[in-house]
Amino acid sequence: MQEEGYIKFNVNNDFKQNNINDIVIRDINKVRKYLKDKGLIGYDGNANVSFGNISHRILGNTFVITSTNTGKYRFLRKQELSLVYDFDIKRNSISSNGMKLPSSETLSHVAIYLANQNVNAVIHIHSEYLWTKYFNVISSIGEEFLYGTTELSEQIFKKVSSENKSKGIILFKGHENGLIVFAEDIFSAKQIIDSYF
Q: Tell the smallest beta-carbon distance from residue 138 to Zn ion (Å).
A: 17
Q: Tell the smallest beta-carbon distance from residue 101 to Zn ion (Å).
A: 16
Q: Tell the smallest beta-carbon distance from residue 29 to Zn ion (Å).
A: 20
Q: Tell the smallest beta-carbon distance from residue 59 to Zn ion (Å).
A: 26
CA R_g for the chain: 15
The residues binding Zn ion (CB under 5 A) are 178
Q: Tell the smallest beta-carbon distance from residue 75 to Zn ion (Å).
A: 21
Instruction: Please spell the DSSP secondary structure of 87-141, one letter per residue.
Output: EETTTTEEEEESSSPBPTTHHHHHHHHHH-TT--EEEEEE-HHHHHHTTTTS-EE
Q: Tell the smallest beta-carbon distance from residue 190 to Zn ion (Å).
A: 17
Phi/psi at 150 (5° precision): -60, -40
Nearest residue relative to Zn ion (C-beta): 178
DSSP H or E run through 85: strand 81-88
Give SS3 for 77: coil
- Distance CA(76)–CA(67), nearest Å, equals 9
Question: Given the complex with Zn ion, which of 13 and 53 has the nearer CB atom?
Answer: 53
Helices (H) then strands (E): counts for the chain? 5, 11
Question: Given the complex with Zn ion, which of 71 and 178 has the nearer CB atom?
Answer: 178
Question: Given the complex with Zn ion, which of 102 and 178 has the nearer CB atom?
Answer: 178
Question: Given the complex with Zn ion, which of 29 and 66 has the nearer CB atom?
Answer: 66
Question: Given the complex with Zn ion, which of 97 and 112 has the nearer CB atom?
Answer: 112
Question: Given the complex with Zn ion, which of 168 and 178 has the nearer CB atom?
Answer: 178
- 53-80 in b/e burial notation, b at 16+ Cβ within 10 A? bbbbbbeeeebbbbbbbbbebeebebeb
CA distances from 23 to 56, 78, 84, 147 (A): 11, 12, 18, 31
